Amino acid sequence: MTPNKVSIFEVGARDGLQNELPVTTQDKIALVEALGRAGVKRIEAASFVSPKWVPQMADSGDVLRNISRQDGVTYSALTPNLKGLELALDAGADEVAIFGAASQSFSQRNINCSIEESIERFAPVMERAIAANIPVRGYVSCVLGCPYEGDIAISEVARVSEILYKMGCYEISLGDTIGVGTPANARRMVEAVSQKVPVDKLALHFHDTYGQALANILACLETGVSVIDSSVAGLGGCPYAKGASGNLATEDLVYMLNGLGIETGIDLHLLAKAGNTISQALGKSTGSKVARAISG
Ligand code: HMG
Ligand code: MG
């Protein structure tokens, strides 16, 4: 069941940088272009959310408009509502993502509405995106725990995932938003969701807050899932745990997959270079152990 190829969905320029001190638009553009040169094919480069909620993403339109696009690379953006979608289409996003949650409290605090209301808001986004021929990805947050509610029922994760999939999302990304999962429950969760959404339409989006992300991915790979979200240099902190690490570092993921003989098409050294450069712009050292080892 373990795949021999994994598609990496790089979220550093969005999930990472939304949780870091601001960098310049030029730094973001340089990062996205460097990721493309390293062989990353799917890059989340923007987020069209309220700039009052997430000021770090306010220049998303300028980022998308000014990158030198590379053939075969998809540049995507988060779009919580129709306003976000229109801005993303205008800026030339190749695909967009709607983002819901398996926790009511998280949904309320993150996008200011209940799970049910979020589904209602996503419907016109989906309709308009389909009309514009733009694929829509769906995120489900808090799949292994919520910062406000603690444990989340796996059945609720499966229910929300199925709704987003049936609405037309081409892929459902399962977010361990606060990185609390461990291998056995991560695998159980993926197995349960794959009863409702085909496993080849699922992606893992595991934050590394508790240092479990690689172990969780390894456990879940055996279910056949073959799309993994990660963030170069481990960019991104955790707004719910001050000082904690962010997303799983893409370099660490690629290193593990290389060792397993699983293809990613990514050049580890160029990837680490991209991560080191953006870390320098942020005035900190890379959050990737592998990048530290091979660049030291
Ligand atoms: P709201 O306040 O309920 O929305 O926010 P509203 O429609 O009442 O609008 C309020 C103001 O926001 C208005 O401006 C709108 O124009 C503006 P004002 O009149 O006050 O000047 N506005 C917008 N501006 C730009 N782009 C837009 C947009 N929409 C409204 N698209 C809203 C609702 C969803 C907008 C807000 O709650 C928001 O922006 N939330 C974003 C939260 C966020 O970005 N979280 C991080 C991303 S999710 C994540 O990281 C998890 C993930 O990685 C997976 C995982 O790890 O689990 C994906
Ligand atoms: Mg995330």
Compute, in angstroms, the gap from residue 222 CA to the centroid of ligand 1. 36
Regarding the beta carbon of 114 and ligand 1, being less than 6 Å apart is answered no
* 172/201 Cα distance (integer angstroms): 6
Main-chain dihedrals φ then ψ at residue 152, nearest 5 degrees: -120, 135
Distances from the Cα of 256 to the Cα of 143, 170, 264, angstroms: 23, 27, 11
> What pLDDT, in 10s, does the model give residues 185-208?
999 999 999 999 999 999 999 999
User: Smallest Cα–Cα separation from 229: which of 296, 140, 293?
Assistant: 140
Compute, in angstroms, the gap from residue 186 CA to the centroid of ligand 2. 16
Which residue's alpha carbon is nearest to atom 12 within ligand 1?
50
Compute, in angstroms, the gap from residue 19 CA to the centroid of ligand 2. 10
User: Smallest Cα–Cα separation from 26: which of 80, 70, 63?
Assistant: 63
Per the listing, tokens 């799970």 go with 115
Which residue's alpha carbon is nearest to atom 48 within ligand 1?
99
238 is known as an active-site residue = yes
> What pLDDT, in 10s, does the model give residues 221-251?
999 999 999 999 999 987 877 777 889 999 9
Domain ranges in the chain are: 7-295
Residue 6's pLDDT is 98
Closest atom of ligand 1 to 110 CA is 42
Q: What is the residue type of 70?
A: Q
Torsion sign over Cα 255, 257, 261, 262 = negative
Contacts of residue 74, Cβ cutoff 8 Å, sequence gap at least 6: 41, 42, 43, 94, 95
pLDDT per residue of the chain (296 residues) written in tens, 0 to 9: 899 999 999 999 999 999 999 999 999 999 999 999 999 999 999 999 999 999 999 999 999 999 999 999 999 999 999 999 999 999 999 999 999 999 999 999 999 999 999 999 999 999 999 999 999 999 999 999 999 999 999 999 999 999 999 999 999 999 999 999 999 999 999 999 999 999 999 999 999 999 999 999 999 999 999 999 999 999 998 787 777 788 999 999 999 999 999 999 999 999 999 999 999 999 999 999 999 999 86
Compute, in angstroms, the gap from residue 108 CA to the centroid of ligand 2. 16
Compute, in angstroms, the gap from residue 49 CA to the centroid of ligand 1. 4
Please report the beta strands in 105-243, taking only residues with DSSP state E, as ranges in sequence order: 136-141, 171-176, 202-206, 227-230
Which residue's alpha carbon is nearest to atom 49 within ligand 1?
15
Residue 37's pLDDT is 98
Cβ 143 vs Cβ 157: under 8 Å:
yes
Regarding the beta carbon of 236 and ligand 1, being less than 6 Å apart is answered no
Residue 272's pLDDT is 98
Q: Which ligand is nearest to the CA of 175?
A: 1
Regarding the beta carbon of 193 and ligand 1, being less than 6 Å apart is answered no
* 72/36 Cα distance (integer angstroms): 9
For 7-295, CATH number out of 3.40.50.2000, 3.20.20.70, 3.40.50.300, 3.40.50.720 equals 3.20.20.70
What pTM did the predictor assign? 0.98
Q: Which ligand is nearest to the CA of 111?
A: 1
Question: Three-class SS string for 243-293?
Answer: CCCCECEHHHHHHHHHHCCCECCCCHHHHHHHHHHHHHHCCCCCCCHHHHH
Main-chain dihedrals φ then ψ at residue 263, nearest 5 degrees: -75, 140
Residue 241's pLDDT is 73
Q: Which of 146, 169, 220, 238 is catalytic?
A: 238
Closest atom of ligand 1 to 97 CA is 58
Q: Which ligand is nearest to the CA of 51?
A: 1
Regarding the beta carbon of 229 and ligand 1, being less than 6 Å apart is answered no
Find the farthest-apart pair of alpha carbons in the chain and give their distance in angstroms, rounded: 50
Residue 14's pLDDT is 98
**98 - beta bridge partners?**
138
Compute, in angstroms, the gap from residue 156 CA to the centroid of ligand 1. 23
Q: What is the residue type of 28?
A: K
Regarding the beta carbon of 46 and ligand 1, being less than 6 Å apart is answered no
Regarding the beta carbon of 97 and ligand 1, being less than 6 Å apart is answered no
